[in-house]
């Protein structure tokens, strides 16, 4: 017979509520040294201390105990490109040259459905291996790439947001659509996938330079017809890119104003990078409740610049963490937090361990307007989480044995950690990834 209820006992750490200021995170930290989460049909039915929870466990429930690990909510990646998985670590260029030299030739391969399926499968496995349970994902211009990704996600019950790239200029022929096919193809994909299981759709213009005004207008029309779907694009990443947008759209007040003009800002719009926003753009981000994906490994790898994370708090703009594979250099959110910390250091700012955890979980959920369903262990939320082994290497064991408290332990994990620390990943209550016992 089917086991309807499962439970996990262990050490839990999460952030209980979203906050308006970084300084408020500390009060929302919930650390349960011996806790239990009871899961029913993919959702959290009960969470709290083991002492209180054990009596609530149905007699036939399956209980998994992780006495030595740390369980946190599933990591949320608010910006990543699945077709760029194979080209991570491409040498020597900044954004615009990097796109022409490496990215576009790679993405052409995804016109082939079976190629798309092969890489989508690898990509989803890699997310899970790194503890990422939800991601906002760029596909390519080809609808086949979107089908491949959503099929791979559906097989594992993952909550993924993704969409077909819109691009009708300044790219190779094999990678372009038109204003009209961008609209009709995206519309068909929305009808097919949005709200199908846990899948959600994002209208995905690559960035302003590769869309004509006509195409952006069609994208805005589609968003108006389906206000519930996401908008996902790039914004203000690189100085040459920004200058190019100003040349291409001289009538618009700023880079963000291009998107805003076509109705592409809003509470379900996510803009990757935003390294060089002007004051008016920050105001527009706030006023429209748009979100930013902060992509530290990518911003450093492509030499794009230092993202001013503090401004997101000062200006009241939602922000999540993005790996931005393949300009980013790791699928892993611990490594991404490592570089985020150093980006802050270079600006004479701090990134506390708990703020880091917030951005990787509940804050990311908020950036994706999914904080009612994801991001912590609150009762009723979807049961996505990661079991972390803090002691995956000899150095980590030594450092963790000296940890002063859970904050210090988690901070050290973000500095030393990677996929070796991901012991298991749960999606909708099911262990979809379990690390093999013999490790490197
Ligand atoms: N801007 C437009 N396309 C891309 C892309 O594929 N990666 C990054 N990092 N920036 C972009
Ligand atoms: Zn990107």
Query: For residues 38 and 56, what is the distance between their CA atoms, to the nearest angstrom?
Result: 8
Cβ–ligand 1 distance for 327 under 6 Å, the answer yes
Query: For residues 8 and 410, what is the distance between their CA atoms, to the nearest angstrom?
Result: 21
CA 178 to chain centre: 28
pLDDT tens digits for range 72-127: 999 999 999 999 999 999 999 999 999 999 999 999 999 999 999 999 999 999 99
Q: Record the tokens describing residue 10, joined without a space.
A: 């262990």
Cβ–ligand 1 distance for 234 under 6 Å, the answer yes
ipTM value greater than 0.95: yes
CB 144 within 8 A of CB 113: yes
- The whole-model pTM stands at 0.98
The closest ligand to the CA of 93 turns out to be 1
Query: For residues 329 and 301, what is the distance between their CA atoms, to the nearest angstrom?
Result: 7
Quote the ligand 1 centre to 289 CA distance (angstroms).
23
CB 62 within 8 A of CB 6: yes
**Average confidence (pLDDT) over 379-402:** 98
CB 64 within 8 A of CB 8: yes
- Burial degree of 254 (CB within 10 A; 0-12, 13-18, 19+): buried
Report residue 206's pLDDT band, with 50, 70 and 90 as the boundaries.
very high
Cβ–ligand 1 distance for 236 under 6 Å, the answer no
Quote the ligand 2 centre to 137 CA distance (angstroms).
9
Cβ–ligand 1 distance for 414 under 6 Å, the answer no
pLDDT tens digits for range 135-157: 999 999 999 999 999 999 999 99
Cβ–ligand 1 distance for 237 under 6 Å, the answer yes
Residue of 237, 241, 294, 336 to mutate, ligand 1, most atoms within 8 A of C-beta: 237
Q: Return the pLDDT at 5.
A: 84
Own/partner contacts of 108-114, CB < 8 Å, gap of 24 or more, are 108/172, 108/174, 108/175, 109/83, 110/83, 110/139, 110/140, 110/142, 110/144, 110/145, 110/148, 111/140, 111/142, 111/144, 111/174, 112/144, 113/144, 113/147, 113/148
Cβ–ligand 1 distance for 99 under 6 Å, the answer yes
> In the predicted model, is pLDDT for residue 1 greater than 70?
no
SS3 120: helix
């Amino acid at each position: 017979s089917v086991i309807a209820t499962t439970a996990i006992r262990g050490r839990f750490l999460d952030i209980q509520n979203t906050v308006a200021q970084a300084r408020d995170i500390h009060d929302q930290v919930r650390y349960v040294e011996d806790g239990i989460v009871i899961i029913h049909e993919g959702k959290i039915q009960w969470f709290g201390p083991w002492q209180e929870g054990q009596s609530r466990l149905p007699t036939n429930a399956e209980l998994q105990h992780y006495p030595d690990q740390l369980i946190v909510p599933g990591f949320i990646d608010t910006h990543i490109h699945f077709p760029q998985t194979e080209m991570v670590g491409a040498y020597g260029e900044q954004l615009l040259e990097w796109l022409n030299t490496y990215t576009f030739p790679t993405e052409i391969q995804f016109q082939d459905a079976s190629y798309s399926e092969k890489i989508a499968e690898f990509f989803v496995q890699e997310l899970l291996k790194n503890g990422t349970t939800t991601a906002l994902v760029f596909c390519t211009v080809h609808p086949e790439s979107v089908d491949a990704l959503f099929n791979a996600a559906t097989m594992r019950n993952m909550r993924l947001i993704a969409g077909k790239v819109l691009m009708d200029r300044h790219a190779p022929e094999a990678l372009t659509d038109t204003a009209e096919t961008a609209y009709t193809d995206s519309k068909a994909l929305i009808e097919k996938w949005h709200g199908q299981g846990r899948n959600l759709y994002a209208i995905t213009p690559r960035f302003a330079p590769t869309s004509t005004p006509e195409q952006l207008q069609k994208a805005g029309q589609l968003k108006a017809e389906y206000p519930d779907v996401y908008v996902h694009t790039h914004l203000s990443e690189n100085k040459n890119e920004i200058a190019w947008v100003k040349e291409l759209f001289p009538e618009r007040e700023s880079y963000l104003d291009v998107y805003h003009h076509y109705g592409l800002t809003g509470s379900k719009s996510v803009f990757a990078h935003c390294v060089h926003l002007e004051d008016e753009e920050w105001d527009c981000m706030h006023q429209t409740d748009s979100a930013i994906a902060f992509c530290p490994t990518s911003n450093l790898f492509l030499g794009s610049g230092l993202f001013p994370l503090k401004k997101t708090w000062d200006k009241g703009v939602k922000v999540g963490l993005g790996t931005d594979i393949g300009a980013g250099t790791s699928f892993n959110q611990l490594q991404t937090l490592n570089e985020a910390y150093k980006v802050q250091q270079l600006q004479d700012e701090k990134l506390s361990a708990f703020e880091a955890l917030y951005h990787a979980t509940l804050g990311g959920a908020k950036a994706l307007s999914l904080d009612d369903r994801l991001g912590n262990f609150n009762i009723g939320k979807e049961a996505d989480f990661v079991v972390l082994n803090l002691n995956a290497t000899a150095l980590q064991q030594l450092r963790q044995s000296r940890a002063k408290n859970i904050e210090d332990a988690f901070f050290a994990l973000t500095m030393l950690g990677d996929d070796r620390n991901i012991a298991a990943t749960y999606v909708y209550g099911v262990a979809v990834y379990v690390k093999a016992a013999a490790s490197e």
